[in-house]
Amino acid sequence: MSDELAATAKELDAGDELAAVRARFVLDDVVYLDGNSLGALPAAVPARIEDVIRREWGELRIRSWGESGWWTAPERIGDRIAPLVGAAAGQIVVGDSTSVNVLKALVGAVRLVDDAEDTGDIREPGYTGVVRDEIVVDATTFPTDGYIAESAARLTGRTLRPVPPGEVPAALSERTAAVLLNHADYRTGRLHDLPSLTAAVHAVGAIAVWDLCHSAGALPVGLDEHGVDLAVGCTYKYLNGGPGSPAYLYVRREHQDRFDSPLPGWNSHAEPFGMREDYEPARGALRGRVGTPDILSMLALETALDVWEGVSIEAVRAKSLALTDFFLECVAAYVPEGRVESLTPVRHEERGSQVALRCADAREVMRRLIERGIVGDFRRPDVLRFGFTPLYVGFADVERAARILAEELR
């Protein structure tokens, strides 16, 4: 069986239309299956950052804000991310962390609802006079999103209601102000139904906020197509921006003139160098900016996005599903029966770009895998998590990972 699956992997790699993209990254003989935590280094980034430091900062110094385009980086890079999440230009601004952007988006969402109710311009089926006093949050969310949601509820005088994603439609009502959901579950890789959940949120007149950290760069999102109101995401996972690279905020065009960020800063002012005492927000998604952009990591991200030249997100999704299918096939063939349990959905429409395996001694198993050059990660209490980044993971990598996993589990 091992020989057969190794031969299959070789055939699949030979027919992989994305195989050449691997050369755009700095890689070694390690099988790197942790790109859903930190993407690999794009090969062009070191030289770009050296130029930024030595020439733009070292020689041009403050002139680089204008001459090197530092000032416009947040929106310029946002426009490069936009096609990867299905958004038109002018709706994404890059900066700050995911956590900070969650706060902006969630408080901004509640303020959008409050403003609509004050003006009578609420979504269908219409404002009925009931106070929208609830924020619904994904009960399985990454902890920080939950912490921020709880704080946003206190800041806006709302009650926080944690609900499992599958139960969200039934939990929604005319009391719902905003809903914060994850597109893909960070533990299991389960992909939640963004189109139908967004439609359900809109049906009760609420605002939909999506966290795209585990889907952007791994699969089509369709923000514009599906009417998402606000979205946030990080750039250091499937977008390969580097450790701590800045996150982004999507503000749907129709909401931009009413989006009221809870973090107004001089960078989001209509006249940032006017130094006025009164705050007037900039036009468009720029009102999502706050303070001085983090230029070094911002420009590393901009160069990292060059790896997407000539790559379609649809091709990435097709390979992602093929990789995860093949990994599950290899695990079933190699691993002793009953030793692991897959938490990852079988159906493609419910699967992100990772596989999670429940294993009684998961922490120790992952430690040994890493020692043998198979890098995934461990999630408490008993989950082995493997992320599949189609831009640089091949089918031979997948077969090797499953085979070594089986050896350790025996």
Catalytic residues: 142, 211, 236-237, 385
Cα separation, 187 vs 209, whole angstroms? 20
Are 325 and 318 within 8 A, CB to CB?
no
Cα separation, 267 vs 298, whole angstroms? 15
Helices (H) and strands (E) in the chain, counts: 12, 13
Query: Token pair for residue 138?
Result: 């994904």
Which of 255, 310, 365 shows the shortest CA–CA distance to 23? 310
Are 195 and 222 within 8 A, CB to CB?
yes
Cα separation, 206 vs 123, whole angstroms? 7
The DSSP-derived string for 231-264 is: EEE-SSSTT---TT---EEEE-GGGTTT---SS-
Cα separation, 232 vs 234, whole angstroms? 7
Q: CA angle, 263 as apex, 258 and 264 as ends, to 5°? A: 70
Longest dimension (CA), the chain: 72
What are the residues facing 31 on neighbouring strands? Answer: 374
Which of 393, 406, 385, 388 shows the shortest CA–CA distance to 186? 385
Tell me 390's DSSP state. T
Query: Token pair for residue 408?
Result: 């350790």
The DSSP-derived string for 151-177 is: HHHHHHT-EEEEE-GGGHHHH--TTEE
Query: Token pair for residue 112?
Result: 């959008």
Cα separation, 252 vs 285, whole angstroms? 8
Cα separation, 233 vs 221, whole angstroms? 12
Q: What is the CA radius of gyration of the chain?
A: 22
Cα separation, 7 vs 13, whole angstroms? 10
Are 46 and 24 within 8 A, CB to CB?
no
Cα separation, 35 vs 354, whole angstroms? 9
